Structure 1
Amino acid sequence: MPINIPNELPAKDILESEKIFAIEDASAERQHIRPLRIVILNLMPKKIETETQILRLISKSPLQVDIDFMKTESHESKNTSKDHLVKFYTNFAELADNYYDGMIITGAPVELMEFEEVDYWDELCKIMEWSKTHVMSTMHICWGAQAGLYYHYGIQKETLPEKLFGIFPQELVDEYDFLTNGFDEIHYTPHSRHTKIDEKALAAEKRLVVLSRSEKTGSNIIVTKGYRQIFVMGHFEYGVDTLAQEYFRDVKAGKPIHIPENYFPDDDPKQRPILKWRSHANLLYRNWLNYVYQVTPFEIEKIKDMELYHGNKDQHGYARAFKKD
């Protein structure tokens, strides 16, 4: 099934060139099914690039998915045209009455700042609180994952001695977990960050489960037992050349940066990188969308009356949903 995207979104031409079926609003309205509703809070500076990367993964599901793009009012983007933001993005306040099967909160280049110093932190906290009653499952990415772990569980981030930068093998902790079903025992994930989470605090938080990790990166995929919140420390959505662009940008700017690990063949920046995380990226997003499709009520506004019974799963691995008493 296709993804349903806003009319004239720039990502549409790129996706179609990759043989990905995307339809616009008018065509989707003629289909008599309830598609999944996903909202993307895009905090990355290059919004069009991030849109394309995430939509590429969402499109791999057999389900039809409607997409809304959310932005904060408390921050003005300097790297994306105002016309694009006005045309395709909606402020949180205007979406606050909506209910969604899933939400994605992206990373942001603010990790060396204290959370409370980020100009949109207060608004982001309101959005994360809202997601608990208006979204069935929220996926947080990189800094978005660090922010979510801090807001929901008080888990702090720590500054690394040097940037964690490259493609790192991750060990699967539970090969039978629904979200990582189909993963190899070792999978690769791009990382590009200056901070890490407090692993001791994470281990002490019994409401969270680590699905994959490595000694180099620490925990990589973290979830609540009912998948209402998912925290991905790396960037499964990255394209093959994303780290190369970051590397050459920093080299040109004279910033301290090392060659991304396990990325360029023979660590030679003149050679084209090898894309070795795509299949697991597709699996992660397909499993996630399949999960929210299984558990979200058809009348989506009933999310507000539901809670996931943590710690119980049926024989197929689905977390069961129950109405509150």
Structure 2
Amino acid sequence: MRPRILSVFLLLAALLAPVAPAFAAWPDKPIRLIIPSAAGGAPDVLMRALSAQLSQQLGVPFVIENRPGASYTIGTMELVRSPADGYTLAYANVVSLATNRSLLPNVPYDVDKDLTLISNALRVVNLMAVNNSVPVRSVPELIAYARKNPGKLAFASDGNGTTSHLGVELFKSMTGTFMLHVPYKGATAAVTDLIGGGVQLFMANTPVLGPHAQAGRVRALGISSPQRSPAYPDIPAIAEAVPGFEVVAWGGLVGPANLPREIVQRLNSEIRTALATPAVQERFKALGAEAAPSTPEEFRELARSETAKWAKVVKSSGAKLD
């Protein structure tokens, strides 16, 4: 009987022993990071800087995958369809988490049900610039010219619903001007056409337009923050000519629904650590961005408040898909 009793004891011990959760060894292989916009844009550049630091901290590579198109929905849906195991993450921002809800007739995902918000990572303001042939050198001159020549100016955006789109729609509604919207699938093509004269105006994240303005390839008119940016002190705030005008882009990391809380907490902590390192701080500062980590709850509240804000802009400006 003793061998049988011993066997039963060992079996019970095995059944009652604590089982190490699947996430205990996380991460032990490369992590895929989906960026739902084109390579070379501000999200791509900033997330590559952040992911490089996260890779060092976590000891595994981050594989960047750009999946642009359809106002961030193509890349976001790729994440939604991925397993919630911590090995597929995505960049999400004001577009995918806020403006799509009021601008797109049918958003194929539910922010509250289909995504796990991990942490915001950055804040970045926009720079308004014109082609060098446009006969204006300030925001007041732009307003006067646009009022005198309604529809003559075409403005680029790096996609429907982005701050480069809705920011100009807000500007138009606040100044009583009319300019034609020309959406692109990414910032790189929009900048190329702005420099070449295919479009006359573009208001994009400072990491995108700042270097071109500093090199004289385009003419900077204003910054979209309430005050002048320390990174561009010689460029006036648009609010100096249009009181109350403010556009701030933001974004961070998300996972699929039901991402284990332990992985969310680990990632949130690692993101905070990465954003505090001198290398990332210097890279963000050089690009005109501000590190802005948050708790998962703060990130979700940001998405909700910005959804309400931009819904009002869409309604008051009459912004639509082009």
TM above 0.5:
no
Q: With CA pairs under 8 Å and 6+ residues apart, which has the higher RCO, 1 or 2?
A: 2
Determine which structure has more spread, i.e. the larger CA radius of gyration: 2
Q: What is the TM-score with the length of structure 1 in the denominator?
A: 0.28
Which has more strand, going by share of residues?
Answer: 1
**TM score, norm. by length of structure 2:** 0.28
